[in-house]
């Protein structure tokens, strides 16, 4: 199990985490800031200057997942992780990656009043040997108050168990967290557990259209980026039936007819992914009543929307967009296409 302590910069996450490992038996502290520090020695300086935050680096998020899972497998017990996560897609990617490794997460939010937060930032100790540290680190913390406030207003309070530590010492805050975790007051994060592939996979997606011929895209919680409804074909399962099953599980729509094949696309292995065959089927047009029956996003979906082909270009990764583009052409022509990495084979 992981106890993830979230909150704004200056909320007291790290000091609280140090006290918490003394209160939870068989627990270990893992600070993902260590990963960020290591990347300064591993990546070219130019690569680092292209992002404003380590969290924006996909390699940082992958390493946090892999390191946390490896520590958990090696040590067992509870891993206490103090780390600010203010972007929901990063939270979903990291927690989803941990869920894929069967590591459960209990999400805690330290939520002092903003006036208290600003006072703590102003009084924060800065290492004396850090050039311009007093200005840079304090300003960094102040600059992230607005994104923190936005996260509070949208998803953060609904997702995490809040602890108001405005008037609490770090030890008192740790006591409050230990009691909440031990009593079961803090639920395990409700996020789908999708096992990571260990070899090439066969996956089926289904294109569903509204009355304006816009295509349905979904935003999964367990991986980054928009996608088509669908998923990995299980052993012994017919690919078209797998697509129908995934549509029902993700959207609540039950297709009566077996969908028609549009494209078969070979996806090349790109570490850490293994690639494999990706099939897209035509699930047909939904009338307004069907569209109204689409379920609200649950553990598997953050959001869904109907989009035009042009709008899909801004949401889908390039290879996935090419797959959609050729699937739409196949739909128009009434003949399936074979693709390799999103490109029709000669």
pLDDT of residue 222: 66
Mapped onto helix, strand or coil, the DSSP state of residue 2 is strand
pLDDT of residue 135: 55
Contact 322, 313 (CB under 8 A): no
pLDDT of residue 263: 96
Q: Long-range contacts for 17-21 (Cβ within 8 Å, ≥24 apart)? A: 17/80, 17/81, 17/82, 17/174, 18/170, 19/170, 19/171, 19/173, 19/174, 20/80, 20/174, 20/177, 20/178, 21/80
pLDDT of residue 323: 94
Angle between helix axes 58-75 and 33-42 (nearest 10 degrees) is: 120
Report yes or no on whether pTM surpasses 0.85. Answer: no
Question: Which residues share a beta bridge with 108?
Answer: 5, 161
pLDDT of residue 245: 92
Cα angle value 232/234/238 (rounded, 5°): 95
pLDDT of residue 206: 96
The list of the chain residues with pLDDT below 70 reads 123-138, 140, 191-198, 222-224, 272, 295-300
pLDDT of residue 334: 93
pLDDT of residue 31: 94
pLDDT of residue 192: 57
In DSSP notation, 218-279 reads EEESSSSS-B-SEEEPPTT--HHHHHHHHHHHHH----SSPPEEEEEEEEPP-TT---EEEE
Contacts of 307 (CB under 8 A, 6+ apart): 214, 215, 217, 315
pLDDT of residue 220: 78
pLDDT of residue 129: 57
């Amino acid at each position: 199990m992981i106890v993830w302590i979230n909150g704004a910069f200056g909320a007291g996450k790290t000091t609280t985490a140090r006290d918490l490992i003394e209160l939870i038996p068989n627990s270990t502290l893992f600070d993902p800031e260590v990963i960020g520090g290591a990347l300064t020695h591993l990546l070219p300086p130019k690569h680092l200057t292209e992002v404003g935050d380590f969290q924006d680096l996909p390699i940082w998020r992958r390493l946090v997942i892999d390191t946390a899972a490896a520590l958990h497998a090696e040590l067992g017990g509870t891993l206490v992780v103090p780390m600010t996560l203010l972007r929901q897609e990063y939270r979903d990617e990291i927690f989803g990656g941990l869920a894929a490794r069967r590591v459960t997460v209990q999400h805690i939010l330290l939520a002092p009043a903003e006036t208290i937060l600003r006072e703590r930032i102003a009084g924060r100790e800065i290492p004396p040997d850090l050039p311009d540290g007093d200005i840079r680190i304090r300003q960094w913390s102040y600059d992230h108050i607005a994104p923190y406030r936005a996260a509070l207003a949208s998803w953060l309070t609904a997702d995490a168990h809040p602890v108001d530590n405005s008037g609490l010492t770090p030890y008192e805050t740790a006591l409050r967290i230990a009691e909440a975790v031990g009593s079961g007051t803090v639920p395990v994060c409700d996020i789908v557990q999708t096992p990571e592939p260990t070899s090439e996979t066969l996956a089926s997606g289904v294109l569903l259209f509204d009355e304006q011929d816009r295509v349905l895209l979904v935003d999964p919680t367990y991986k980054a980026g928009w996608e088509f409804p669908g998923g990995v074909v299980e052993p012994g399962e017919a690919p078209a039936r797998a697509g129908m099953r995934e549509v029902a599980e993700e959207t609540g729509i039950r297709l009566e007819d077996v969908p028609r094949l549009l494209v078969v696309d070979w996806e090349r292995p790109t570490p850490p992914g293994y690639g494999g065959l990706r099939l897209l089927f035509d699930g047909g047009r939904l009338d307004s009543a069907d569209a109204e029956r689409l379920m609200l996003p649950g553990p598997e979906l953050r959001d869904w929307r109907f989009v035009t082909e042009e709008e899909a270009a801004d949401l889908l990764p390039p290879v996935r967009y090419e797959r959609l583009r050729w699937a739409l052409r196949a739909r128009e022509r009434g003949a399936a296409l074979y693709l390799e990495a999103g490109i029709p084979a000669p």
